[in-house]
Every structure is written in structure tokens, then in C-alpha cells.
């Protein structure tokens, strides 16, 4: 079990502060890794994911991206939870959310546990996968990894702005990111040495969610290995 705490982060636009779950590796230090939530908020699943990254030596920071709508959103995967989650998703301002990720990157690098490392990364899932892509395009994240991000095909004009490294994982049978969208993303990424896209045939959206209905152990293990390789190459 990792050592964890909750911190407050000042927004870049001065409108307030938002919370972030912070999990520290057993060594007590490491490079910062910002974890971007699914549409269900910073729930037990996201904390478990963050704790998992601490076992690989990273300081994991999970910001509450829905704080402007409702602080502390933490939903389960019941029908009611899904309904509320889509409500937050539809109301969420992704542009402002990207600014909050930038603020989180700054705050994470300033943590005492991270001060030996001048670079930080981002990993996101579902909505967070799209946010990881936007972070790659708009922030100083050294490496960003997006799992089954939705709507990336609508922001491909920003790919030229990527200064760090980007890794995207896509499910072959993802109803929220269909083959046509994935083909557009692949075409935009073609020839870019700093962008890697991986396909996982036969699996569905959220194939890496622990104990999720669509969890696929083989695809999750392969995606995790690729993710950790990219993170270690850039952040260590």
C-alpha cells in the first residue's frame, strides 16, 4: 500500500483551488505522474490506478478535474453512476480542464518527493485519455499516455504543438472511438517520431479498468508494459 495524502492546488485562472490525491512510492520519492480520471471522478478505481504506479517508482497525482462542476465527484459503475457520469462529461469544459492539468503538473513537480526530477508525465483513461492528448499539445508534460481517449479526432490540428512524447492506446472494438476516428488519428500521427499509437484488437473501451466489465488482462498487461517503457525512458 502506498503512502497517500490529499493536497490543494491553485487554479491558473485564480478562480479557486481544487484537490488532488497524491500517492508516494515506497522509496519516498520519484518523478511526478499526473493521472487523469475517467468520467466517474476520482473514485476508488482511480486511486487504485495511482497506487499501482507508485509500485513502479512514480509519485502519482490525481487532480479532481470536475471540481468546477461539483467538487469531490466519486461515482460507481451502477446505472445511476453512469447517468451522472455522462452528465458531468457533457458539462465539462475540456479547455479549462487542460489548464487545471497544467497547474497540477507544476504543483506535482514542486512536491518535496519530486524535486529531484525536473520532468513530469501524464497518464489518462477514457475522458482522461483525451485530456492526456490535450496535455501533450498544450502543456510542458514531458510524456503523455492516453488510454482509449474519446474525441481526439476533433483536435488533430493541435498535434503539431506536441513537444514531448505521446503514446495512445486504442481498443479495437471501442464504441466511443470507432475505427473511422482511430484511422484519422493514425493518419495525423504518421511520420511523427514522438507519437506512438498501439491497437488492441478484439477488446472494448476501458479494457484496463481493474475488475471492469470489459477488462482484458492480456491487453492491459501489454499496454502497461508499453506505458512504463515510455515513462521510464523520458522521466528517469
In our burial notation (b when 16+ CB lie closer than 10 A, e otherwise), range 48-69 reads ebbbbbbeebbbbbbbbbbbbe
CA dist 75 and 83 (Å) reads 10
Angle in degrees, 0-180, between the axes of helices 94-110 and 127-138, rounded to the nearest 10: 70
Return the SS3 of 72: coil
**Cα–Cα distance for residue pair 40/20, rounded to 1 Å:** 15
Dihedral of the alpha carbons of 220, 48, 165, 105, in degrees to the nearest 10: 170
Pull the grid cell for residue 11: 487554479
Distant-in-sequence, close-in-space partners of 205: CB < 8 Å, separation ≥ 6: 126, 148, 171, 174, 175, 176, 177, 214
Distance CA 69, CA 63 (A): 14
Residue in 121, 129, 119 with CA at minimum distance from that of residue 198: 129
Give the catalytic positions in this structure: 174, 205
Amino acid at each position: 500500500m502506498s503512502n497517500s495524502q490529499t493536497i490543494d492546488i491553485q487554479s491558473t485562472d485564480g478562480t479557486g483551488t481544487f484537490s488532488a490525491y497524491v500517492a508516494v512510492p515506497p522509496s519516498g520519492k520519484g518523478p511526478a505522474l499526473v493521472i487523469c480520471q475517467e468520467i466517474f471522478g476520482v473514485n476508488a478505481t482511480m486511486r487504485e490506478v495511482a497506487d499501482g504506479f507508485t509500485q513502479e517508482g512514480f509519485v502519482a497525482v490525481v487532480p479532481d478535474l470536475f471540481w468546477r462542476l461539483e467538487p469531490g465527484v466519486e461515482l460507481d459503475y451502477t446505472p445511476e453512476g453512469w447517468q451522472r457520469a455522462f452528465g458531468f462529461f457533457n458539462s465539462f469544459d475540456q479547455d479549462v480542464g487542460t489548464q487545471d492539468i497544467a497547474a497540477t503538473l507544476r504543483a506535482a513537480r514542486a512536491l518535496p518527493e519530486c524535486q529531484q526530477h525536473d520532468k513530469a508525465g501524464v497518464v489518462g483513461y477514457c475522458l482522461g485519455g483525451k485530456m492526456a492528448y490535450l496535455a501533450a499539445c498544450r502543456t510542458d508534460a514531458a510524456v503523455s499516455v492516453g488510454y482509449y481517449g474519446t474525441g481526439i479526432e476533433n483536435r488533430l490540428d493541435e498535434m503539431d504543438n506536441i513537444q514531448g512524447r505521446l503514446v495512445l492506446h486504442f481498443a479495437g472494438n471501442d464504441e466511443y472511438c470507432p475505427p473511422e476516428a482511430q484511422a484519422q488519428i493514425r493518419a495525423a500521427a504518421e511520420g511523427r517520431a514522438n507519437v506512438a499509437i498501439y491497437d488492441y484488437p478484439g477488446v472494448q473501451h476501458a479494457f484496463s479498468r481493474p475488475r471492469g466489465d470489459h477488462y482484458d488482462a492480456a491487453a492491459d498487461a501489454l499496454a502497461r508494459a508499453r506505458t512504463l517503457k515510455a515513462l521510464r525512458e523520458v522521466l528517469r
